[in-house]
Amino acid sequence: MANTQYLDKEGLVYFWNKLKDTFVRKDGDKVLSDNNFTNEEKEKLARLEDTSAATLLTQEEIPGTTQRYTFEEDGTIKKIEHVQNGQTIRTDAFTFAENVITEVRTASTGETLTIVTNTATMETTTTYTEGLTDGN
């Protein structure tokens, strides 16, 4: 005959708590395909999109992209296009003046990050500008 083992009360309580932690309880008649986001949740999601554009602008290297470089006749860098799946997702434009390098990073969504570096002091200022929205 097989050796049968049973859970004692403590083991059963432990098992039940683990089960409750593992699964999500059903909330009334709601199902996963319902579109029942609150306005607060929708606003959070909208901010995530803005955050991802801001993240894209602050990254030095963008994983999964190839770069297309454009140079001035004197060999200085003019522009870098970051391309992913055939689409330019960010363009970095450079201008040079005496002791100043200006880099303007523009995401495909219109947001820009301008980085101005004084090469004599190595001080940097950064300005973020949101993209245009529908209706502007």
pLDDT tens per residue, range 40-54: 777 765 655 444 666
pLDDT at position 32 is: 55
**Per the domain annotation, does 77 fall within a domain?**
yes
**Per the domain annotation, does 40 fall within a domain?**
no
pLDDT at position 50 is: 44
Q: How far apart are CA 53 and CA 105, in angstroms?
A: 11
Q: Give the domain range for residue 72.
A: 66-131
**Per the domain annotation, does 37 fall within a domain?**
no
**Per the domain annotation, does 6 fall within a domain?**
no
Residue 111, CB-side half-sphere exposure with 13 Å CA sphere: 17
**Per the domain annotation, does 35 fall within a domain?**
no
65 pLDDT higher than 80? yes
Summarize the confidence of residues 7-36 as an average pLDDT: 73
- DSSP one-letter string for the chain: --------HHHHHHHHHHHHHHSPPP-TT--TT-----HHHHHHHHHHHHHHHHHHHH-SS-TT-EEEEEE-TTS-EEEEEEEETTEEEEEEEEEEETTEEEEEEEETTS-EEEEEEETTTTEEEEEEEPPP-TT-
**Per the domain annotation, does 8 fall within a domain?**
no
pLDDT at position 63 is: 82
**Per the domain annotation, does 30 fall within a domain?**
no
Instruction: Specify the number of domains making up the chain.
Output: 1
Reported confidence tier of residue 36, pLDDT bands at 50, 70, 90: low
**Per the domain annotation, does 98 fall within a domain?**
yes
Span 80-135, pLDDT tens digits: 999 988 999 999 999 999 999 999 999 988 889 999 999 888 898 988 888 755 44
